[in-house]
């Protein structure tokens, strides 16, 4: 009986102390929700920055390959074989010893 009474008084004291310090509990809950919201925003920002970074890396790779291709084309402009290939491809010019064939649709 005595232990039951002690148990009841302990729980009653604990409950009454919680009721007296309701503002502390409320403050802790507000802090927790604020922290949780901040962490979610931070994680979202990190995800967006990573995807932007990966996109920029892909653009850099494409720009590098295009730059190398343009450098090769520029270096090859003095090559007679390259000039002949451009004339054949862009203008449709055919060398003297070849026959040009046209297809009609």
Query: What's the confidence (pLDDT) of residue 90?
Result: 82
The pTM of this model reads 0.53
Select, from the ranges 8-17, 27-36, 73-82, 90-99, the one with the highest average predicted confidence (pLDDT). Answer: 27-36
Positive or negative CA dihedral for 44, 50, 55, 60? positive
Q: Which residue in the block uniquely carries the two structure tokens 């990190």?
A: 46
Both structure tokens of 2: 């005595």
Please tell me whether residue 101 adopts helix, strand or coil conformation. coil
Q: Assess contact for 76 and 82: CB atoms under 8 A.
A: yes
Q: Assess contact for 81 and 87: CB atoms under 8 A.
A: no
Q: Which residue in the block uniquely carries the two structure tokens 């054949």?
A: 88
d(CA 56, CA 52): 6
Q: Assess contact for 100 and 94: CB atoms under 8 A.
A: yes
Query: What's the confidence (pLDDT) of residue 96?
Result: 80
55 band by pLDDT with thresholds 50, 70 and 90: very high
Query: What's the confidence (pLDDT) of residue 33?
Result: 98
7 band by pLDDT with thresholds 50, 70 and 90: low
């Amino acid at each position: 009986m005595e232990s039951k009474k002690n148990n009841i008084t302990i729980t009653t004291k604990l409950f009454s102390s919680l009721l007296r310090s309701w503002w502390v509990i409320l403050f802790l809950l507000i802090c927790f929700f604020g922290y949780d919201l901040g962490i979610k925003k931070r994680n979202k920002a990190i995800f967006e920055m990573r995807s932007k970074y990966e996109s920029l890396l892909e653009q850099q790779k494409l720009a590098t390959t295009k730059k190398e291709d343009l450098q090769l084309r520029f270096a090859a402009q003095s090559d007679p074989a390259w000039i002949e290939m451009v004339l054949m491809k862009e203008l449709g010019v055919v060398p003297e010893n070849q026959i040009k064939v046209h297809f009609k649709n």
